[in-house]
Amino acid sequence: MAKSLFLSREVQVYVEFDSQFWEVPVLDGFSFSQGTNTTEVTVAEMSDTSGNSRRGRIAFNDSLNAAEWSFSTYARPTIISTKHRATEEVLWALMAGAKDYDGAEGSGNIFNDGASSAVTVINSDTSNMDINFEGSNKLEFGAANIWFRFPSNDDGGSDSDVFYKCEGAVVNEATLNFDLEGITTIEWSGMANKLIESSAPTLGTPLAHGATSTSNFIRNRLTQLVLNATDGQGSIEDNAYNLVLTGGNITISNNINFITPSSLGVVNVPLGHVSGTRSVTGSFTCYLSGDTRGSADLMEDLIASSNVVQNEFALTFNVGGTTAPNLSFSCPQAMLEIPTHSVEDVISVEVNFHALPSDIANTDEVTITYTGA
């Protein structure tokens, strides 16, 4: 049947990095675009002797903004040939500063920073898949091409499919939300040098680890929080708190900016990107509980120690619980803000946190661990 319209639910997204393609299943709500900066010139003058006055305007295209893209994926750990992988692993690799892919079987270091003495960004073994940010103290990150494919059902077959390419794409931000009833979802966003409509790429056989499985989704309701305070912080005791979550989120941002010249007489295009301050922030919610070492005690301790310049907690989210498939975010040096109340049928509190490095030059704010089933 011929088709002149394209449907969003049929879209396929591919990430091309280091000569390899990954197929990444995305959720509804994806977007990609590239805007233009314009300058408007107007004239404003008094009347001439005939009572006339020029009132026109002229507009110029000055430059193209960096292309912007965003989409959401489910977090999907899996096991491939006894090694723990993830459907969306290439996006985490780009997020954490990878420039090289080595997915050979038996190689634990599947992504690294591409330096002569390569720093492992993602390590995969028979126990889990670890993502760290040791190679992310870079001015410029590894780039990929992100392809959006809109299939066609007309008589032209696959040759009539429409492909849009975000060329030189980087991952700027990832937000993981774990609400009470849902499936663990990651919101990805970033920029690219340019957006073009392109002929079909040579996809070969794209990697799609666990993309067809129905057993690797993570249920948010099983999520657990392990929160321990370090000693020597005023009224904050050096032991664990007993908190049962009702929701939360964590956001990792590279604060990337694209640089564009401003020459006259031409439409300027982005030259490239530079990374900014890496930030890892988030929040979690729970009911106000009077249990021993519960949320009421945490709130009391934080208020009593409000004169502590920088409080420090070891914080680990076990998203999906402690049984595979699951995903954990470990923040060994998290600073907590004083909780805020939410007055509803059951009183709840929200706690904002900032994951910090052990030293301002270090990269150990967070370690991410996938465990496949």
Q: What is the rounded average pLDDT of the residues 33-58?
A: 91
Q: Is 199 exposed, middle or buried (0-12, 13-18, 19+ CB in 10 A)?
A: exposed
pLDDT beyond 50 at 1? no
pLDDT band at 108 (very low <50, low <70, confident <90, very high): confident
Of 242, 122, 133, 251, nearest in space to 185 by CA:
251
pLDDT band at 232 (very low <50, low <70, confident <90, very high): low
Task: State the pLDDT at residue 102.
Answer: 86
Task: State the pLDDT at residue 77.
Answer: 97
Task: State the pLDDT at residue 18.
Answer: 94
Q: Which of 7-16, 29-38, 296-305 has the lowest mean pLDDT?
A: 296-305
Contacts of 220 (CB under 8 A, 6+ apart): 178, 179, 180, 181, 182, 183, 184, 247, 319, 320
Given a contact cutoff of 8 angstroms between Cβ atoms, the answer to whether 129 and 369 are in contact is yes
pLDDT digits (tens, 9 = 90+) for 346-368: 999 999 999 999 999 999 999 99
Q: What is the rounded average pLDDT of the residues 114-120?
A: 80
Q: Which residue has the higher pLDDT, 2 or 127?
A: 127
Q: What is the rounded average pLDDT of the residues 55-77?
A: 95
Structure tokens at 180: 């009470």
Q: Mean of the per-residue pLDDT values for the chain?
A: 91
pLDDT beyond 80 at 106? no
pLDDT beyond 60 at 165? yes
Whole-prediction pTM value?
0.92
Task: State the pLDDT at residue 282.
Answer: 98
Of 185, 158, 170, 187, nearest in space to 15 by CA:
170
Distances (CA, A) of 135 to 43, 98, 174: 53, 7, 17
pLDDT beyond 60 at 111? yes
Task: State the pLDDT at residue 7.
Answer: 86
pLDDT beyond 80 at 231? no
Structure tokens at 135: 């190679």
pLDDT beyond 60 at 137? yes
pLDDT beyond 80 at 71? yes
Given a contact cutoff of 8 angstroms between Cβ atoms, the answer to whether 90 and 102 are in contact is no
Most confident of the ranges 64-73, 77-86, 233-242, 261-270: 64-73
Task: State the pLDDT at residue 107.
Answer: 61
Task: State the pLDDT at residue 157.
Answer: 54
Q: What is the rounded average pLDDT of the residues 324-350?
A: 94
Q: What is the rounded average pLDDT of the residues 209-218?
A: 94
pLDDT band at 158 (very low <50, low <70, confident <90, very high): low
Task: State the pLDDT at residue 153.
Answer: 67
